[in-house]
Structure 1
């Protein structure tokens, strides 16, 4: 009779399925003080079940990668061999041995060899990146195993200056308004420690937050329903899949039962849903991803410490991590717009931050009214 091997602590003991969307994505890394876009990269070891399943002996590493609609992963090199499998779509291999790639192609990159990838307008590339030793190339986001080619980086900077001036201005405005956002009354309450120490205040906070979380879900449903751009529709569908059910997660984990009777909060939340039927796709990218998701990341970071470490923290810790990825969705579309489009995008940015501030102020007011 064969005796089953004893599983290592934390190892999987049953057949387990992991959805691609459940592997946390990163979209950029900073190397030598310069930020480099990755498209989308999902290292398998960022998911606890996959990390437990992959062996440490030999230390293979796997990651899903994606580029679409003109996105580029600039020419770079790694200290270890890398294999890239084209699973879907088309992409151009850059660097050594430049050539077009199609579904089913396999690229083998020896250590130190220059390579990169670029999609054309309307192109989409999904691939699997495999390494056979050491940690994953971007497994440690703070210390990625990559060196970018200075010549390629300089050319990319020149292109950005030539094409992305208005977008850079919009990014600076968004950063400025985001910084101001963190000084509103709700962030002040989060920093004060009251929501951590006062159970009644914390219960009112979660009940009011649930109002906004429910409307956020409706906003994503509405956007999906009216989107006619096939590439953005796929981005939006993936985003919706990653956000789906977070309102129920908040409600169930924290036992939300109280009704929040605040017409101003309700109206401010409903405004975001209504905009999905009124704005064009570029404006929606600004509203949903530049503003709402940036607000969500900042809020998640500030709120993550108000509960004792347990499963109930999932909503807050999840948003602290995931919303940074979500805030980059659609940026390549904005970069392709002519300068004449940006005054209205700046106006959309200002209005959306004003509404987010109003939502936070009303949540803070609801908490204070419980004294």
Structure 2
């Protein structure tokens, strides 16, 4: 490769430069979008001079992505090659193709796009190593911690989950009545089946409309693990399908419709923070009443897997701007309200 660099022209495609998407700093994982430092490619690293050393990297943010506000000890220049992006931090400004940003050492800055925007740029550092040339030791300090906003959302969700764990429906299980009284079991299973069908429809809808390739794969894995659980409930526990209840239909439809109209972050909050958290508690509280014959059941399955399912999508939430979390807090409250409506109706049908 050295001889080739000296004797002739060498071309390197952008795709041949190793890309990174995240970096760890201060114990936190931060989203970079797409970052391709020229020195992570052997031919370019040999070609670029070490004396009077400077660094180059292709950078990219897709629609709705954000590079959190940070600072670094060396000056940096960012050239907007294609698309548009908003500069945030010490200065707030919308940038377009051809714009150049000069960032002195210690200046707080970051970049974010909105839905429909995409940004391709070139990042240049004139002194020493590139900011993420060694992605195990980045030359940056992130000054705005998104994790604080996510922690506030988690706190709200845990408070609602604690409230949910004391729902009056579970009194039928704690007292032993659900295990002992066949009529209660029959009513409960019929109501649960109606909700389980809507849970499946919610996952189908989310998968059908998702356009983010990274989330498509994550959602597909989740759907595969949940696929057919409504059928498992019906067949393993002899549920008579086809029962109709207006309240369960209305509340269940709310969850399905959110998959068509909400942003991806809100969908993650609804499906994973709220519904999957509730499913884990639900499985733990109900499985003892449905252990007849010792065979694994719908209830065992949810007690085991839903603890992991609730953490799906957290990396995506870490990439968000703190300004997006107030809306997600409202979504979280609304989802819990709808879910409690489902369980209130189940309890009423069991008591009927």
Q: TM-score, normalised by structure 2?
A: 0.60
Residue in 1 that maps onto 2:315: 332
Residue in 1 that maps onto 2:109: none
Residue 344 (structure 2) pairs with residue 361 (structure 1): yes
2:287 to 292, 304, 321: 304
> Does the Cα contact within 8 Å between 2:234 and 2:241 map onto a contact in 1?
no
Q: Secondary structure at the match of 1:304?
A: helix
Residue in 2 that maps onto 1:266: 249
Q: Tell me by how many angstroms 1:159 deviates.
A: 6.8
Residue 268 (structure 2) pairs with residue 246 (structure 1): no
Gaps of 5+ in 1: 1-67, 76-99, 101-119, 123-154
CA distance in structure 2 between the partners assigned to 1:69 and 1:245 by the alignment: 34
2:330 to 322, 326, 347: 347
CA distance in structure 2 between the partners assigned to 1:314 and 1:159 by the alignment: 47
Gaps of 5+ in 2: 1-19, 28-39, 41-59, 63-137
Q: Deviations over 1:173-216 (max 9, x none)?
A: 00001101112221222222111111111111111100011110
> Does the Cα contact within 8 Å between 1:208 and 1:363 map onto a contact in 2?
yes
2:22 to 70, 93, 107: 70
Residue 200 (structure 2) pairs with residue 217 (structure 1): yes
> Does the Cα contact within 8 Å between 2:205 and 2:256 map onto a contact in 1?
yes
- Taking the TM superposition and a 5 Å limit, the aligned residue runs for 1:181-220 are 181-220=164-203
Residue in 2 that maps onto 1:231: 214
- Taking the TM superposition and a 5 Å limit, the aligned residue runs for 1:1-371 are 70=22, 162-257=145-240, 259-310=242-293, 312-369=295-352
CA distance in structure 2 between the partners assigned to 1:327 and 1:201 by the alignment: 29
Q: Tell me by how many angstroms 1:239 deviates.
A: 0.1
CA distance in structure 1 between the partners assigned to 2:150 and 2:331 by the alignment: 14
Residue in 2 that maps onto 1:81: none
> Does the Cα contact within 8 Å between 2:194 and 2:244 map onto a contact in 1?
no
CA distance in structure 2 between the partners assigned to 1:71 and 1:307 by the alignment: 46
Q: TM-score, normalised by structure 1?
A: 0.57
**Pair 1:71–1:351, CA change in 2 (3 A):** farther
CA distance in structure 1 between the partners assigned to 2:297 and 2:143 by the alignment: 38
| RMSD of equivalent CA atoms | 3.1
Aligned residues: 230
**Pair 1:355–1:71, CA change in 2 (3 A):** farther
CA distance in structure 2 between the partners assigned to 1:187 and 1:277 by the alignment: 32
Q: Secondary structure at the match of 1:70?
A: strand
> Does the Cα contact within 8 Å between 2:198 and 2:253 map onto a contact in 1?
yes
CA distance in structure 1 between the partners assigned to 2:197 and 2:23 by the alignment: 33
> Does the Cα contact within 8 Å between 1:70 and 1:121 map onto a contact in 2?
no
CA distance in structure 1 between the partners assigned to 2:313 and 2:176 by the alignment: 36
Q: Tell me by how many angstroms 1:275 deviates.
A: 0.7
Q: Secondary structure at the match of 2:290?
A: coil
**Pair 1:244–1:160, CA change in 2 (3 A):** farther
